[in-house]
């Protein structure tokens, strides 16, 4: 007789979904490759308004990886809008440079953490895991 695996093993957990927001197509593509390499499901957006529309239309977003310097609105403004849509939204802000004032504003507005660009695989994985576990990614 063949032994059947328990039902729990048959249900595969949906992969963690990340919405990657960056206006630079090169960085967006690279970021998507890195995140998919780490096993995440990735949706992308090129600016704040596209990101907010996608966020609203998606069944589930576990984390938003948000570039701070976007055309039209900066990351802090977009972060506020994500928080209005879902106060539990987890947003990890990415930038090559942020002043201490920018950092303070992001914390005040409820950012889950911050990561420097260019992305480094180990740091990216560490920050995302910290935020997904409910810890600070600052």
pLDDT in tens, 12-45: 678 899 999 999 999 999 999 999 999 999 999 9
SS (H, E, C) 67-101: ECECCCCEHHHHHHHHHHHCCCCCEEEEECCCCHH
Tokens 């990101």, residue?
51
pLDDT at 8: 47
Residues 116, 4: Cα–Cα separation, whole Å: 47
33: helix, coil or strand? helix
More confident residue, 29 or 7: 29
């Amino acid at each position: 007789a063949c032994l059947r695996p328990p039902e729990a093993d048959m249900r595969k957990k949906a992969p963690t979904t990340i919405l990657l927001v960056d206006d630079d197509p090169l960085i967006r593509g690279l970021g998507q490759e890195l995140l998919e390499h780490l096993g995440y499901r990735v949706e992308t957006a090129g600016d704040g308004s596209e990101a907010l529309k996608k966020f609203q239309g998606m069944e589930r977003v576990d984390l938003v990886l948000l570039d701070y310097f976007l055309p039209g609105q900066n990351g802090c403004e977009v972060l506020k809008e994500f928080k209005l849509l879902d106060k539990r939204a987890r947003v990890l802000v990415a930038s090559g440079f942020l002043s201490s004032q920018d950092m303070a504003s992001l914390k005040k507005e409820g950012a889950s953490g911050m990561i420097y660009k260019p992305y480094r695989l180990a740091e990216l994985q560490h920050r995302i895991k910290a935020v997904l576990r409910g810890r600070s990614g600052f």
